[in-house]
């Protein structure tokens, strides 16, 4: 009899909001090995992008993810603007920054609630989600919608921030900052929270870097890496801010990092509102994009977003590739889970702030026969072993 | 032990939710809702139909006699039609209660009066 037992987790599981499967090999209560199976939420977005115009793609890109929709469109518009060699007006860059930071606040509030829900602390979940309404209302006031903001257009932004809206934002973010400071205190004082997060899902700095973790997951392992600071886009080069890191390397430090990031975001928004230059918010651009190859990076709330565009002098992209942060964090997630308890699995998975629908696009295309098929990780592995044997 | 004060405050607070549909929150200016169309302004260029990412807009005919059909069941309320319109003929209003049991009733047919 083998000493370990294999337990499938997902694709339909109460602890997962999205379909994704993990195969856990366990020894008693300990997790020995994890095999993630991605691909359950594959929607063929990259192929769909190639058959739509650049303007239509704005809204398809926005729907890759419901939470970091603005980050994806910022990344997309940056890539297209780079191919067009267009400079975006500085007021538009500031507005993009403000919406991006509001989105980060929204995401971190949502994430804290979800984590609290996973560990059974539903009171905190209700409180954070109640306060999340403030930032959603602000985003609705700016853009006209609570989730898919449609603020970015190629060459600028669609709507301006008027002085009245600006004062509403100032009022709103002050409350959000105070509330988040309170939640950080709760998370570092409450016994329930401490018992479930301290020394859970440990990811050492060395592992985080070698497994290519991104975003708050990486920064919670005391690695100071942030696209906003390392490769500034939008208006981040003109706004002073600190890259928040934490050296706890566990789930508790991931909570603290995200709480501090919200406070930092509030500072960025306030500075951007105070120093926003006057002027136009968009430039008129051509519908046809000259042939070029561009890689664009944006720090989404969950981590680094990477978009690749190849254009061919038509109004449709020739190839578009998206690398969402959850895919980058997946191998680090497996590392975190190994050696931990089975009971900690939901909390650790929730801890990287997973968004599987953003990530699932592992498709193979045979260029000779135009055949398309999907492969799961282990199928790919089997194929690789077989192929090498035959060589 | 830091949550007791918050719990007591929440006990005496009103509920965070509204008793919809008996109570409604005020309309937000600039909300992206149901479309309106100004036949006098429309020149029938068809940019709205061409750029619609959800293929929800159909332009019947071309030029100054063209009429418009918008399928609200398909519409994703992104506002590209409003954004791209060179004459500001198509606009989104703040009206958002659009649910209907029949798909047929979700199709807005805008006609020209004098044609």
Say yes or no: A146 contacts chain B, CB-CB below 8 A.
no
User: Closest by alpha carbon to A187, among A241, A244, A106, A127?
Assistant: A127
Whether residue A366 has pLDDT greater than 70? no
User: Closest by alpha carbon to A80, among A255, A314, A251, A275?
Assistant: A314
Residues A298 and A190 in one domain: yes
What is the token pair recorded at A190? 């409450």
Residue A85 Cα distances to A82, A88, A320, A321, angstroms: 5, 10, 18, 20
Q: Which domain holds residue B79?
A: 27-110
Q: Contact B53/A144, CB-based, under 8 Å?
A: no
Q: Which domain holds residue A310?
A: 45-339
Domain at A254, CATH number:
1.10.645.10
Establish if A289 belongs to a structural domain.
Answer: yes
Say yes or no: A364 contacts chain B, CB-CB below 8 A.
no
Per-residue confidence (pLDDT) for residue A361, from 0 to 100 = 46
Nearest CA in chain A to B30: A144
Contacts of A302 (CB under 8 A, 6+ apart): A67, A68, A107, A214, A215, A216, A324, A325, A326, A329, A352, A353, A355
Establish if A353 belongs to a structural domain.
Answer: no
CB nearest A144 (choices: B6, B32, B51): B32
Residues A280 and A375 in one domain: no
Per-residue confidence (pLDDT) for residue A5, from 0 to 100 = 76
Number of domains in chain A: 2
ipTM of the complex: 0.91
For A227-240, how does the pLDDT look when each residue is reduced to its tens digit (9 = 90+)? Answer: 999 999 989 999 99
Q: Contact B2/A186, CB-based, under 8 Å?
A: yes
For A67-77, how does the pLDDT look when each residue is reduced to its tens digit (9 = 90+)? Answer: 889 999 999 99
Residues A235 and A262 in one domain: yes
What is the token pair recorded at A194? 């401490």
Say yes or no: A148 contacts chain B, CB-CB below 8 A.
yes
Domain at B96, CATH number:
3.30.70.3270
Q: Contact A182/B6, CB-based, under 8 Å?
A: yes
Nearest CA in chain B to A182: B2
Q: Which residues 165-184 in chain A show a CB within 8 A of chain B?
A: 182
Are the beta carbons of A49 and A320 closer than 8 angstroms?
yes
For B46-70, how does the pLDDT look when each residue is reduced to its tens digit (9 = 90+)? Answer: 999 999 999 999 999 888 889 999 9
What is the token pair recorded at A171? 């009022």
Q: What is the mean pLDDT of residues A182-186?
A: 92
Q: b/e string for B85-107 if b means 16 or more Cβ within 10 A?
A: beeebbebeeeeeeeeeeeeebe
Interface with A, mutate which of B1, B2, B93 (most A CBs under 10 A): B2
Q: Contact A150/B78, CB-based, under 8 Å?
A: yes
Establish if B63 belongs to a structural domain.
Answer: yes
CB nearest B78 (choices: A130, A148, A190): A148
Establish if B7 belongs to a structural domain.
Answer: no
Number of domains in chain B: 1
Quote the CA–CA distance of A178 and A197 in Å, as a whole number.
Answer: 23
Q: Contact B30/A144, CB-based, under 8 Å?
A: yes
Number of CB pairs, chain A paired with chain B, less than 8 A apart: 64
């Amino acid at each position: 009899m083998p000493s370990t037992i294999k337990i499938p987790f997902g694709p339909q599981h109460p602890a997962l909001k999205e379909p994704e499967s993990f195969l856990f090999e366990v020894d008693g209560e300990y997790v020995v090995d994890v095999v993630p199976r991605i691909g359950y939420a594959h929607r063929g977005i990259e192929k769909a992008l190639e058959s739509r115009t650049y303007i239509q793609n704005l809204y398809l890109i926005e729907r890759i993810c419901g939470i970091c929709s603005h980050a994806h469109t910022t990344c997309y518009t940056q890539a297209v603007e780079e191919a067009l060699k267009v400079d975006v007006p500085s007021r538009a860059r500031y507005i993009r920054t403000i919406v991006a930071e509001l989105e980060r606040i929204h995401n971190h509030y949502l994430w804290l609630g979800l984590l609290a829900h996973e560990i059974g602390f539903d009171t905190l979940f209700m409180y954070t989600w109640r306060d999340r309404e403030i930032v959603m209302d602000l985003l609705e006031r700016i853009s006209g919608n609570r989730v898919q903001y449609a603020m970015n257009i190629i060459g600028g932004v669609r709507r301006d921030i008027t002085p009245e809206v600006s004062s509403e934002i100032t009022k709103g973010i002050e409350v959000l900052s105070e509330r988040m400071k309170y939640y950080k205190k709760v998370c570092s004082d409450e016994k329930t929270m401490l018992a479930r997060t301290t020394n859970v899902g440990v990811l050492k700095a060395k592992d985080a870097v070698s497994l290519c973790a991104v975003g708050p997951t990486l920064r919670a392992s005391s690695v100071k890496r942030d696209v906003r600071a390392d490769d500034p886009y939008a208006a981040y080069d003109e706004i002073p801010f600190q890259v928040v890191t934490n050296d706890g390397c566990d789930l508790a430090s991931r909570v603290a990092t995200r709480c501090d990031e919200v406070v930092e975001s509030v500072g960025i928004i306030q500075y951007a509102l105070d120093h926003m230059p006057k002027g136009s918010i968009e430039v008129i651009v051509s519908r046809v994009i000259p042939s070029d190859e561009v890689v664009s990076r944006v720090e989404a709330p969950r981590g680094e977003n990477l978009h690749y565009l190849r254009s061919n002098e038509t109004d449709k992209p020739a190839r578009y590739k998206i690398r969402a942060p959850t895919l980058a964090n997946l191998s680090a997630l497996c590392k975190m889970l190994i050696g931990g308890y089975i009971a900690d699995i939901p909390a650790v998975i929730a801890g990287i702030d997973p968004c599987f629908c953003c990530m699932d696009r592992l498709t193979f295309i045979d260029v000779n026969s135009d055949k398309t098929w999907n492969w799961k990780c282990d199928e790919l592995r089997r194929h690789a072993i077989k192929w090498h044997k035959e060589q | 032990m830091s949550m007791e004060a918050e719990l007591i405050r929440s006990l005496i607070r009103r509920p965070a939710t509204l008793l919809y549909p008996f109570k409604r929150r005020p309309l937000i200016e600039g909300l992206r809702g149901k479309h309106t169309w100004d036949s006098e302004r429309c020149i029938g260029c068809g940019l709205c139909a061409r750029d619609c990412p959800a293929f929800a807009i159909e332009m019947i005919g071309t030029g100054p006699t063209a009429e418009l059909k918008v399928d609200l069941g398909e519409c994703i309320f992104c506002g590209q039609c409003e954004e791209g319109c060179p004459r500001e003929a198509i606009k989104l209003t703040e009206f958002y209660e659009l649910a209907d049991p029949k798909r047929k009733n979700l199709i807005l047919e805008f006609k020209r009066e004098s044609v």
